[in-house]
Copies of this chain bind each other. A is one copy, B any other.
Amino acid sequence: MPEFAKRMETMKKSADVIRTLFGSMNDPDLISFGGGAPAKEALPIDTVREIINDIMRKETRGVEALQYGGVKGLEDLRKVIVDELLGPKGVKANVENIIIINGGLEAMNLLCQIFIEPGDVILVESPTFVQSVEIFDMFQAKCVSVDMDDDGMNTEELEMKIKKYNPKMVYVIPTFQNPTGRTLSLERRKKIALMGSEYDVIILEDDPYRDIRYSGEEILPIKAFDESGHVVLANSFSKIFSPGSRLGYILANDEIIEKLFDAKTATNSHTSMLPQIVCAEFFKRGYYPEHHKMICDLYRERRDVMMTCIDEFLPEGTKKVFPDGGLFTWVELPDYINTTDLLSESISNSEVKVAFVAGEGFFAEGNGKGSNCMRISFGSVTPEKIKIGMAKLGKLIESKIK
CB distance from A273 to the nearest CB of B (A): 4
CB distance from A274 to the nearest CB of B (A): 6
Contact A267 B267 (CB under 8 A): yes
Contact A268 B49 (CB under 8 A): no
Contact B256 A1 (CB under 8 A): yes
Contact A68 B274 (CB under 8 A): no
Residues of the B chain whose Cβ atoms lie less than 8 Å from the Cβ of A230: 1
A132 to B28: give the CA distance in the assembly, Å: 43
A238 to B262: give the CA distance in the assembly, Å: 21
Given known A-B contacts A102-B268, A109-B267, A138-B113, A201 and B66 have beta carbons under 8 A apart: no
A116 within 8 A of B: yes
Residues of the B chain whose Cβ atoms lie less than 8 Å from the Cβ of A229: 1
Contact with B along A36-56 (1 / 0, CB 8 A): 011010011110110011001
Contact A103 B52 (CB under 8 A): no
Interface size class of A (residues with CB under 8 A): 35 or more
- Give the oligomeric copy count: 2
A297 within 8 A of B: no
Interface segment out of the listed A14-22, A303-311, A326-334:
A14-22
Q: A272 is contacted by which of B68, B105, B138, B246 (Cβ under 8 Å)?
A: B246
A18 — nearest CB in chain B belongs to which residue? B265
A269 within 8 A of B: yes
Question: Which residues of A (237-283) have their CB < 8 Å from a CB of B?
Answer: 238, 242-247, 255-256, 259, 261-263, 265-275, 278
A379 within 8 A of B: no
Given known A-B contacts A43-B62, A68-B22, A255-B1, A265 and B131 have beta carbons under 8 A apart: yes
Q: A109 is contacted by which of B43, B105, B244, B266 (Cβ under 8 Å)?
A: B266
Contact B64 A244 (CB under 8 A): yes
Interface segment out of the listed A5-13, A356-364, A387-395:
A5-13
List 20 A–B pairs whose Cβ atoms lie within 8 Å, in order of A's numbering: A1-B200, A1-B255, A2-B115, A5-B115, A5-B117, A7-B113, A19-B261, A22-B70, A43-B63, A46-B62, A48-B62, A49-B57, A52-B53, A52-B56, A102-B102, A103-B268, A138-B266, A244-B274, A245-B273, A268-B268
Known: A43-B63, A66-B243. 8 other contacts (CB 8 A): A19-B261, A22-B71, A40-B67, A45-B65, A66-B245, A68-B244, A246-B271, A246-B272
